Every structure is written in structure tokens, then in C-alpha cells.
């Protein structure tokens, strides 16, 4: 597919500067782009490539000043990075719309309710009572359990497993290998030292516009629901335990884990490999640094914590600064001790 600079500008509400008829058919990084490709410039670090790139069309911030002539057509927007993301999303939607139909072999139970313009890939398995919305894409080798509900415009990538009774909202994306609704880690210790499994009879509810990365796991609730609220974004290799609640527009980076019954507020940001214990609450807007271990509730909104156990981010930086200066501090203390000993000796004499 080929688009002109004018057509692209209409899609992202930009203004063309230069040849509005310049056309592109693919995307490229500004430092590597070739003729016929679209690039963008958002980071000043790459500004030098603006004047040397072979890209035919470039999305730039409306405040971008030109230090020399640019061969490409420019599309000026308030935020080049955001506009480029919007454009990629629209392009992806166009590609997805072309993917429809049911590939064979696949298993779709007779009781499945199917929306319009649905794609089901080969070797996918849709169980009894499944409800699939409009424009849903279920890629090969996916398993959709009994009575699962999938909303409109949602994409289930290859090898995803969604256990029975789970609910997936509209405009969600679940990447390859992720498991939704596996049993929560519930075992009751017995007098003889063994553990008795506690049945996990709840489900997972994923609201609209949620994205989950590859090989993540979201456990079903013991009773009730594990809930991922609208707009949350979960990276690859994340563990969400039973009865956890993830707030609206919360983002969690790779290899982080959230233990059972913990509630994350809205707009929380969690760095990679962070660990959060169970049965606590994290206030709205909290920021948890990578590899932090959070062992108690964060009650003040917009707090930032780091370390293990995690504590206030600013205080942690001060502590680190003091730690780096310990050798010098030790040296000064020893000098002061010598001085005190000399003064005492003089006083005695």
C-alpha cells in the first residue's frame, strides 16, 4: 500500500511542509530510511539525520527548527512520537482487516457464537459456549476455554491459552505464549507437613484496551475475579497472581511479579524484575523502580520507591550517595580520633 504525505497528514492531523504528493510504502528509522519510506524525528539526538536521510516523508514536532534544507516532505505535529504511534496503529488496523476467515484444521464447537470479520488460525481450539466479538483475530494454536468471552477488535496471538470462564474486553492484544486463567497458587498447609490444594473457582476479567506481552501469566481468582482494568499494559514474562487488581493505565515492565490479592492503583509504573508481596495496596501514580521489593502498602499517591525492601526514592539516592562516600568518611573519623587522642594526651601532661 502506498500513501501520500497529504493522506498521512490527514490521518494524524498534521501539516505538510514540502511536497504533499511525496509517497511512501513502508517505514524506516531516520538514520537508515530509504527513498519511499516514512520516518519520524522525536529525539533531538537524531536531528543530524534529518538532513541526510533518504526518507521521502518525515514526521517532526511542529517546533522543530531547520538548520539547513531538508529533501523530504515534512509533516509537522504537536508530538512526533505520539503521532507516529497513532499512524502505526492505523496501519496495523488496515493490515488486520484483511485477515479474515477460518483456517483448517481448527476446532470450533457448535455452540460458539462468532461475530463478523473474525479470523481463526489453523489448529486453534474454541470450546463450548465461547463468545467471540466482531473483528477478532485468533491466531494458530490458540486455546479458548469453555464459556470464555472475547470482545470486539481483540487480537489473540499464536499459542495463547485462555482458561474457562475468563472475560477479555474490546481492543485487547494478548501476545504469543501467554496464559490467562491458570490456577492461582493456593495450597493449605496440613498438620502432617503436606499441602492441600485450594480450588480456584474464580476467573480473570480483562477490560478494554489492555495489552499483555509474550509468555506472561495471569492467574484466576480463588473466588471472584483477578481484574486487569482498562488501558493497563503488561510486558513479557510477567506474573499476576490470583485476586490481584491492576488499575487503569498501569504499566508493568518485564519479569515483574505481583503476589495474590494485592491491589495496584491507576497509572502505576512498575520497573522490570520488581516484586510485590501479597495483600497490600499500591496508591495511584506510584512509581516502583526496577528490581525493587515492595513489602508493605504504598499509601501516598505519586510516591516513588526503590530498593529491597523498597523505600522512598529520594531518600534511597541520598543513602547511596552516603554509601559511596563511606571510605572518605571513615578516613576523616580516624583522623578525628587521632586528634582527640592527641588533645587528651596534651591535657593529661
Which grid cell is 118?
473474525
Question: CA–CA separation, 167 vs 171, rounded Å?
Answer: 13
Which grid cell is 344?
587528651
Q: Which residues contact 293 (CB under 8 A, 6 or more apart)?
A: 274, 275, 277, 307, 308, 309, 310
Checking DSSP bridges between strand 23-24 and strand 3-4, what pairing results, if any? antiparallel
Question: CA–CA separation, 264 vs 95, rounded Å?
Answer: 35
Q: Would residue 242 show up in a list of annotated catalytic residues for this protein?
A: yes
Please pick, among 164, 171, 242, 279, the residue that the annotation labels catalytic. 242
Q: What are phi and psi of 319, to 5 degrees?
A: -60, -40
Does residue 78 have a cis peptide bond before it, meaning omega lies within 30 degrees of 0? Answer: no
Question: CA–CA separation, 139 vs 96, rounded Å?
Answer: 12
Check: CB of residue 253 under 8 Å from CB of residue 276: no
Active-site residues, by number, are 242
Amino acid at each position: 500500500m502506498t500513501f501520500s504525505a497529504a493522506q498521512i497528514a490527514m490521518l494524524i492531523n498534521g501539516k505538510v511542509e514540502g511536497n504533499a504528493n511525496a509517497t511512501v510504502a513502508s517505514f524506516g528509522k531516520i538514520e537508515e530510511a530509504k527513498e519511499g519510506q516514512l520516518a519520524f524525528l522525536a529525539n533531538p539526538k537524531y536531528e543530524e539525520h534529518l538532513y541526510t536521510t533518504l526518507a521521502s516523508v518525515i514526521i517532526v514536532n511542529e517546533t522543530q527548527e531547520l538548520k539547513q534544507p531538508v529533501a523530504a516532505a515534512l509533516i509537522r505535529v504537536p508530538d512526533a512520537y505520539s503521532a507516529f504511534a497513532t499512524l502505526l496503529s492505523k496501519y496495523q488496523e488496515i493490515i488486520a482487516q484483511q485477515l479474515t476467515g477460518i483456517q483448517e484444521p481448527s476446532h470450533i464447537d457448535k455452540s460458539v457464537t462468532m461475530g463478523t470479520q473474525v479470523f481463526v488460525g489453523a489448529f486453534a481450539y474454541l470450546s463450548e459456549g465461547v463468545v467471540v466479538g466482531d473483528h477478532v483475530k485468533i491466531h494458530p494454536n490458540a486455546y479458548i476455554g469453555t464459556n470464555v468471552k472475547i470482545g470486539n477488535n481483540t487480537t489473540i496471538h499464536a499459542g495463547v491459552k485462555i482458561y474457562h470462564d475468563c472475560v477479555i474486553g474490546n481492543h485487547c492484544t494478548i501476545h504469543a505464549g501467554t496464559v490467562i486463567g491458570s490456577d492461582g497458587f493456593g495450597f493449605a498447609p496440613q498438620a502432617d507437613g503436606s499441602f492441600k490444594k485450594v480450588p480456584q473457582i474464580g476467573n480473570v476479567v480483562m477490560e478494554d484496551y489492555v495489552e499483555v506481552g509474550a509468555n506472561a501469566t495471569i492467574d484466576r481468582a480463588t473466588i471472584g475475579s483477578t481484574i486487569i482494568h482498562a488501558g493497563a499494559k503488561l510486558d513479557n514474562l510477567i506474573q499476576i497472581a490470583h485476586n490481584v487488581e491492576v488499575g487503569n493505565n498501569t504499566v508493568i515492565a518485564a519479569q515483574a511479579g505481583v503476589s495474590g490479592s494485592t491491589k495496584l492503583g491507576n497509572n502505576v509504573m512498575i520497573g522490570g524484575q520488581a516484586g510485590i508481596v501479597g495483600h497490600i495496596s499500591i496508591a495511584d501514580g506510584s512509581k516502583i523502580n526496577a528490581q525493587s521489593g515492595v513489602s508493605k502498602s504504598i499509601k501516598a499517591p505519586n510516591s516513588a520507591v526503590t530498593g529491597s525492601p523498597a523505600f522512598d526514592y529520594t531518600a534511597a539516592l541520598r543513602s547511596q550517595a552516603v554509601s559511596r562516600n563511606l571510605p572518605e568518611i571513615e578516613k576523616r573519623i580516624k583522623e578525628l580520633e587521632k586528634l582527640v587522642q592527641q588533645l587528651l594526651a596534651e591535657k593529661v601532661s
